[in-house]
Amino acid sequence: MNPTRLVLVFVSPLAQELAVLADRLRWPVTVVDPDRTRLDADPVPYARTVTSVAAARLDAGCDVVVCDHDRPEFEAVLAELLAGPSRLHPPAGPDLGSHSPPEIAIATVAGMLAELRSV
């Protein structure tokens, strides 16, 4: 079973890497970032973009990854996500010793795949 949609919260190098991997897996991607200037300045490939969690229209089939915990909007957005029906994944997965955005993206997707496949 694949996720209905991968939702990436906040534009970042990690979001860009996750979007590329999601596209390879044929997972639709939505990026949520309240800051439209970030969405416009640093577009995430293969992704639909919205500026609010409400506009992302989360449902139980969505898998969500918050891609930047240093944003001033982090706490408010996280509270909104936790109140919703989607599955929230940390930007982490199996301990692969990941450090760079591509490595973290691979580990995150590996963890999601293991969960989806009940491994």
pLDDT (average), residues 63-68 = 94
Which pLDDT band, with edges at 50, 70 and 90, does 114 fall under? Answer: confident
- Tally of CB atoms within 10 A around 99: 8
Residue 1 confidence (pLDDT): 56
CA angle, 34 as apex, 33 and 36 as ends, to 5°? 85
CATH number (3.40.50.2300, 3.40.50.720, 3.40.190.10, 3.40.50.300) of 5-116 reads 3.40.50.720
Q: What percent of the chain clears pLDDT 90, i.e. is strictly above it?
A: 66
Residue 13 confidence (pLDDT): 95
Tell me the domain boundaries of the chain.
5-116
